[in-house]
Structure 1
């Protein structure tokens, strides 16, 4: 049996969208590398990290919003579907968009790792690569297993060409076009 890949998907993207549209509210589905993925339900610390990051972004860049769980079309020919934990874009950017928006104009996506067995493959590899392929300028990975933030930037030819990791507590410069500075000491409150 051939494994599912972007070239040999489990189903057509249109079939995935139909399935996702009818999924119960307690289930979040994604379509990454041609495979149906079930996104874990976030815990309280996950939500607090996203709230902390939303406040940081809005305090420094009033013209941007960090949109939680906004569906994005990613990967080659926009055949993947991901729901990043946050998508930073100008306020009003997603107005009139459907459930799955084109990533054009998204400045940064954020993933906060979950404590499950698939987080390494999903958040650290497949989604990172999908966001790079879509040309999203910055990908911020908040890695709760390693207590680090990794900033990926300069996407070209489906790969981020810059990445830098910082421990919780460090000052983290998010490059342009985002252009914010994160003081991450607060993240130590969410270590378990």
Structure 2
């Protein structure tokens, strides 16, 4: 479940958010905090099927591109225009060693792809289909991969644009083959994903 606080006219600074998130996550390990579009999001730790999907993708990426790693540990990214947002993608694809020494909130410049897997909660539509693509596109991340369990499909967002998030979205139903274009350059057979739809 994700809870978004309403944006107010006196927006919280990123520094204040980071201090709140650090304290709160230390006190309760079942939640992760994000700061997108001036709002704090509280993201619950995922269920088993959600985690299996992330691991499926991590293995496929490593098989195809041993020079890359899909980080599924909740690595935070500085997102949105001017890096004013903070997001914790379900997966972040980058060259091996990219996050070494970067800390909790890494710069997205070397990230090739951000990944989200939809959750079965009331905020998944707004968070994963609206806020995240806008934030990742503004940050210039080349690809955003959304594994949409509700609609049994994978959405590949490409051509990042600071105004609209991403200019191109390609949709493939579970069971089809999907190409993650350059700079990722991986083809995925998504048939296995059918078993992870709860």
The alignment's TM-score, normalised by the length of structure 1, stands at 0.95
1:137-172 deviation line (CA, Å, top 9, x unaligned): 000000010010000001123421111111000000
Q: Does 1:175 align with 2:172?
A: no
CA–CA distance in structure 2, aligned partners of residues 140 and 104 of structure 1: 17
Distance in 2, Cα, partners of 1:161 & 1:11: 30
Report if the CA contact (8 A) 2:76-2:104 is conserved: yes
- 2: CA distance, partners of 1:112 / 1:66: 14
Greater relative contact order: 1 or 2 (C-alpha under 8 angstroms, separation 6 or more)?
A: 2
1:84-124 CA-partner distances (Å, limit 9, x unpaired) = 00000000000110100010010000000000000000110
Is 2:169 aligned against 1:163?
A: yes
Q: What secondary structure sits across from 1:104 in the alignment?
A: helix
Match of 1:40 in 2: 44
- Aligned structure 1 segments of 4 or more residues deviating by more than 4 angstroms: none
Q: What residue in structure 1 maps to residue 133 of structure 2?
A: 128
User: How far 1:130 sits from its partner (Å)?
Assistant: 0.1
5+ long unaligned stretches in structure 2: 1-5
Are residues 1:14 and 2:24 paired?
Answer: no
- Equivalent position SS for 2:21: helix
Looking at structure 1, the residues matched to 10 and 55 of structure 2 have their Cα atoms a distance apart, in angstroms, of 34
Cα RMSD (Å): 1.2
Aligned pairs for 1:1-192 (under 5 A) are 4=7, 8=9, 10-23=11-24, 24-68=28-72, 69-158=74-163, 159-192=165-198
| Structure 1 runs not aligned, ≥5 long | none
SS in 2 for 1:22: helix
